[in-house]
A and B are shown apart, each in its own frame.
Chain A
Amino acid sequence: MNRANLPRLIALLATMASATALSACVPQEPADEQPLIVVDDDPDPTDTDAGGDEDTSPQPDVDEEPETVCTNACSSANDGQCDDGGTGALFESCAYGTDCADCGERPVIEEPDPDPDPEPDPEPICTDSCQYANDGECDDGGPAAQYDVCTYGTDCGDCGSRDARRSCNSNAECSEGRVCNATGQCVSSQGASSIEFVTLTDFQATAQDVWDSEFEVGGDVRSVSLIVEMMTPSATAYIWEVGTPQNTLLYDIERSEQSLMKLNPVTYGGQMGILLPNSPQYALSAGTYRVRLWTEDTSRVRVHALIKRGPLNPQGGTLPVTFWFTDQDYMDASEAQRSTAFQEGLEVFRQIYANIGIAIGPVRYRDVEGTLGRQLAVPQDEVVLCEGIRQVATEADLSGINLFMIDQAADQSFLGISCGLPGASTRPGVARAGAAIALAYLDFSPEIFGETVAHEAGHYLGLFHTTERDGASHDPLDDTPECPSSRDSNGDDFVSPEECINLSADNTMFWTSFSQGGRQTTLTPHQRFVLMNNALIETY
């Protein structure tokens, strides 16, 4: 296929919805590969007190006059543009009511002003997000728990609040049969998941060829991750159909909107991942599954299956991560470990996944050297980027997910991008891929950077946007609120986070960041289900 046409094709196909996943073996790390585990023990509490100069908080006042706020304490006050984020404001760079010269007096709003107090001790963990919460039995694997099918602290109704203080950093610090979970507590374990690797097909495809691959699923299989590997990285293939043992179609490219399974059916950089199941709406049944593949270009094609067995309702999981630093000016692998901003972003990423029981680690830092390191730093299109990522990741052959730190994408200015949805899982001898995140935007907001890392990793592991920008397309999960196009209150034809409050705007997989204020740190139980099925995550 002509390389010049590829970006357009990928752009077109990127509009497709779909997802399935792959698998991943999670080989043991050799001793000399021991991760450089980052311990950010300096959550710098400086600058957290926003209420320094003018106090805009509502005063207890029994006067009947509506109270107003009017100061010019903001540094950009009186610049001809209203910046306080209130009605009619052009920007939100000032605190409410502190750009009085440009915005006028503001009525006091009885909203709890977010004034994040630095808290030395973490709050106890207490949610009821587990599917077995409030069933009369404590299921979170913590002290006195009867079962270990919920993430620690997510069966609060039955187990009560759980101590959030970290008591372990590795399994070695826990007693026999217990594991150190994502938030640092020793919990009981159902035993680790295992991966069986099978190469289903290895064939020479001609252009516009159609092939079927089949695989068997037994009753103990939790998920299957498929990897489609084009040995010519610039070659493209599509998933045409996925059929069940009952001869029904889980996915049909000609009726993708009606398909039970949502897929992104095209290869990126010559690879594609498929995850079964990628939604709790359907389960695997014992028997023979069939995947029909359509190859656009001539290439040798290999299709592999990573068959995952393990806990039906895992309490937690671990995701090894390798950060790759391309040859840019911001930081290399060594500097990143000392960079406050980078570590702050990493902590955001860690916390988002820890909230659903997934521990990020081991964390490795590597540099991408040479010509490729320079080319990938500022990729001119995503085809070049994904092919380069494949080359680096495949040669390195490390377990877990590969996250590439680039400078920027000059032609597209994205925050990040994933080479696959899901991306190919890892397996020695099989081509690998990853996601890229722009370092150019780290300093402006380490929080958004960390959310971007979590977002792109989510794509790579099989998660779709909860809501696409038009409000008409959504992920296939039932528990991620959909923000419909009717919420587009300003008629600009897309739904912004501000228009989708309480409708997944705070979800890590919303299509757009808040950009100014607002956090996206939530992942739901169904999103957790998808992630736990991915072979890249070892579950227990």
Chain B
Amino acid sequence: MIRRLSPSPLLLAMALALAACQDSQTRPDQATASAPVSEEPGQGATGKEEPRNLHAELRALFGGYEYVPTREDLMQVGPAEEVVPVLLELYRSEKVSPHQQHHALRALQFYPEHPQVARTYEEVIRGEESSDQERRVAVRAYGRAFGDQGLELLGFALAHPDYHTRASAIAALELTGSERSLELLQARLNEEPETELQAEIKRILDDAGKSEATR
């Protein structure tokens, strides 16, 4: 075994950038290529242009084994006024898999300005008929979309009877990372009935304290 000098950070950055061009088995965040031109017989545009089928495009986007669609992917599909109604339809449709439903629900986070998005998340998070899985997806997505503006609803989720809904709310608040979100966690600390979630809240508060001290 031979010890060597470290490569420079620049070298590493270059290497990572190169590698990022390659494939991934989890979730590549790299930009997508420009719109390709179909050259395969029977695949490209024929004389008659077919209208875009957003349902099909979104369902295909939501079918990846590991792939987690990004904001860029959704923006590529179309503007909010076209995409959000389809996302809502897919999320509520029994014709698609729960996997695609969850992705559709999650993807609403990229359109926080659309009036139906916050309302939908609130319905799912507060709704007694929502499945646990939907609610957890909504909590994480809502946290990403609204952050500090969504603390009231995240506070509701923080006290939800479902363990993993609370765990999702804690994770969402950690990601938000604002002073107010930490205050919310602090207020919840002694009320959380599960010791491991209490410990998780404490870890987040301690980490925040440490980073504050470093600053």
A→B interface (CB under 8 Å)? 4, 10-18, 76, 83, 87-88, 90-93, 200-201, 203, 208-214, 240, 253-257, 262, 264-265, 292, 294, 329, 371, 374-375, 377-378, 380-382, 407-408, 410-418, 421, 438, 440-441, 444-445, 448, 452, 455-456, 459, 464-465, 468-475, 485-494, 496-499, 511-516
Contacts and interface: CB of A to CB of B under 8 A. Distances in A.
Contacts of A452: 65
A329 B77 CA distance: 36
B25 A465 contact: yes
A488 B36 contact: yes
Contacts of B59: 515-516
B190 interface: no
Contacts of B1: 200-201, 203, 211-214
B201 interface: no
Given A12-B20, A15-B29, A17-B23, A90 B55 contact: yes
Contacts of B146: none
B164 interface: yes
A371 B136 contact: no
A410 B140 contact: yes
Contacts of A438: 99
Contact of A410 (B18, B32, B55, B168): B168
Contacts of B164: 377-378, 407, 410
Nearest to B162: A378
Given A257-B18, A408-B137, A494-B73, 19 more contacts: A11-B27, A14-B24, A14-B27, A15-B20, A15-B22, A15-B24, A413-B68, A414-B68, A415-B65, A468-B23, A468-B28, A469-B28, A487-B38, A488-B35, A490-B52, A492-B61, A493-B35, A493-B36, A496-B63
16 contacts: A12-B29, A15-B24, A212-B4, A380-B167, A380-B171, A408-B133, A410-B168, A415-B65, A417-B25, A465-B25, A473-B21, A487-B40, A490-B53, A493-B32, A513-B65, A515-B63
B7 A240 contact: yes
A515 B97 contact: yes
Contacts of B4: 210-212, 292
B196 A415 contact: no
Nearest to A252: B15
B67 A91 contact: no
Contact of B19 (A16, A470, A491): A16
Interface residues of B, number: 82
A465 B23 CA distance: 8
B16 A12 contact: yes
Contacts of B61: 492, 494
B22 A210 contact: no
A418 B52 CA distance: 34
Contact of A254 (B18, B26, B36, B60): B18
B55 A499 contact: no
Contacts of A472: 21, 33
B127 interface: no
B56 interface: yes
Given A413-B106, A490-B53, A514 B77 contact: no
A511 B37 contact: no
B181 interface: no
Query: Which of B19, B44, B52 has most chain A Cβ within 10 Å?
Result: B19
A499 B63 CA distance: 14
Given A212-B2, A516-B59, A499 B43 contact: yes
A91 B19 contact: no
Contacts of A488: 35-36, 38
Contacts of B11: 254
Contacts of A416: 65-66
A430 B51 CA distance: 56
Contacts, number: 266
B16 A410 contact: no
- List 6 tightest A-B contacts by C-beta distance, closest first: A17-B22, A473-B23, A16-B19, A468-B23, A14-B26, A15-B28
B22 A18 contact: yes
B147 interface: no
B208 to A, nearest CB: 10
Contact of B96 (A378, A407, A489, A515): A515
Given A91-B96, A212-B4, A516-B96, A471 B36 contact: yes
Contact of A378 (B6, B64, B103, B168): B168
B98 interface: yes
Interface string B1-14: 11111110001101
Contact of B22 (A256, A413, A498): A256
A375 B196 contact: yes
A91 to B, nearest CB: 4
Contact of A494 (B53, B60, B68): B60
Contact of B99 (A11, A413, A473): A413
Query: Which of A76, A408, A459 has most chain B Cβ within 10 Å?
Result: A408
Nearest to A329: B132
B57 interface: yes
Contacts of A418: 25
Contacts of B27: 11, 14, 412
Nearest to A327: B163
Contacts of A496: 60, 63
A294 B3 contact: no
Interface in B82-116: 93, 95-100, 102-103, 106
B60 A493 contact: no
Query: Which of A87, A213, A262, A380 has most chain B Cβ within 10 Å?
Result: A380
Contacts of B100: 515
Contact of B97 (A14, A76, A83, A441): A441
Nearest to A384: B171
B33 A11 contact: no
B2 to A, nearest CB: 5
B158 interface: no
B69 to A, nearest CB: 9
A371 B18 CA distance: 40
B30 interface: yes
A410 B139 contact: yes
A441 B137 contact: no
B23 A15 contact: yes
Interface in B114-173: 132-133, 136-137, 139-141, 163-164, 167-168, 171
Nearest to B12: A294
Contacts of A371: 196
Given A212-B4, A407-B164, A440-B133, A492 B25 contact: no
A252 to B, nearest CB: 9
Given A15-B23, A17-B24, A486 B14 contact: no
B30 A413 contact: no
